[in-house]
Amino acid sequence: DVAARGLDLPRVDCIVQYTGPSSAGDYVHRVGRTARVGTSGDAIIFLTPSEVQFIRQLESRRIRLQELTMELCLEKLKELDSGSSVEEVATSLQTRYEEAVVADTHLHDLASKAFVSWARFYASYPKEVRNSFSFKEVHLGHFAKSFALRDPPSKIGGIGRRQFEHKKQHQQKHQQIRVKRPRPGSSSRKQREVSEFSSGLEPMKKKKK
């Protein structure tokens, strides 16, 4: 997302999104890094079954996508071993990735940190797209596997659905706290309500409902 705005990468001809954007507008900026100045390019986004309704938001922006089924992608794995079924080849490949991560402490640490970073990002989707990218619908164990991790999510950096939801509620509670300005003529010793994470800057004005 940082590179999606303002950067001109003329040789990029394909954009791959493993995680959905925070809005349809961000999707446009992401794929805008390909097919620059009249050239052609492709854009691919991976969506789980619980995320496919995000396509409706894209269609509302007149963005049309062509489905590429996972079955068709998995068929390509048979090129690695033509004598085995798709399921056997996929299982073998997954096992080899997991064994590589288990055997290398540094690699395991990187995979764990990446999973934690991904989970925090996924739990922070704005409400406008939360119906498509709902943290409650995520199977954390399956996604941990996608990082080639055999550990249960609760043992990867202390991650768990309850911990994330509690932390998110805790952050929202502090965001709602604002510094109270003393009324004219009131005592200067009047205590102010300030978040423990306050930066000391002037409080933001409350938006009118």
CATH number at residue 56: 3.40.50.300
Residues 10 and 38 in one domain: yes
CA neighbor of 40 nearest in space, from 67, 7, 15: 15
Element of type H or E holding 29: helix 24-31
Residue span of the structural domain in which 98 resides: 70-102
Helix (H) or strand (E) run with residue 15 in it:
strand 14-17
Claim to verify: residue 36 and residue 82 sit in the same structural domain: no
Distance CA 129, CA 151 (A): 29
Q: What is the pLDDT of residue 40?
A: 83
Note whether residue 113 is domain-resident.
Answer: yes
In a domain, 27, yes or no: yes
State the pLDDT at residue 199.
34
Same-domain status, 112 and 194 = yes
Name the pTM for this structure: 0.67
Say yes or no: 134 and 97 in one domain: no
| Residue where one domain finishes, among candidates 79, 102, 125 | 102
The verdict on 64 and 139 lying in the same domain is no
Are 77 and 40 contained in the same domain?
no
Residues contacting residue 181 through CB under 8 Å, at least 6 positions apart: 203
Number of domains in the chain: 3
Q: Are residues 131 and 193 in the same domain?
A: yes
Residue 168 and residue 123 share a domain: yes
Cβ contacts of residue 159 below 8 Å, gap of 6+? Answer: 115, 116, 119, 140, 153
Tens digit of pLDDT at every position of the chain (209 positions): 777 777 777 788 899 999 999 999 999 888 888 877 777 889 999 999 999 999 999 999 999 999 998 888 888 888 877 778 888 989 999 999 999 999 999 999 999 999 999 999 999 999 999 999 999 998 999 999 999 999 999 888 766 555 555 555 555 555 554 545 545 554 444 444 333 333 333 444 555 54
Residue 114 CA to residue 106 CA, distance in Å, equals 12
Write down the number of H helices and E strands in the chain: 7, 2
Are 85 and 108 in a shared domain? no
Residues 74 and 164 in one domain: no
Please tell me the predicted confidence (pLDDT) of residue 201: 36
Is 208 inside a domain boundary? no
Radius of gyration of the chain (CA): 23
What is the reported pLDDT for 202?
43
Among the candidates 54, 84, 102, a domain finishes at: 102
Are residues 94 and 45 located together in one domain of the fold?
Answer: no
Q: Is residue 209 part of a domain?
A: no
Asked whether residue 132 is domain-assigned, the answer is: yes
Are the beta carbons of 132 and 54 closer than 8 angstroms? Answer: yes
The whole-number pLDDT of residue 163 equals: 52
Widest Cα–Cα separation across the chain: 86
Q: CA torsion 150→154→158→161, rounded to 10°?
A: 130
Asked if residue 125 belongs to a domain, the reply is: yes
> Do 85 and 55 fall into the same domain?
no
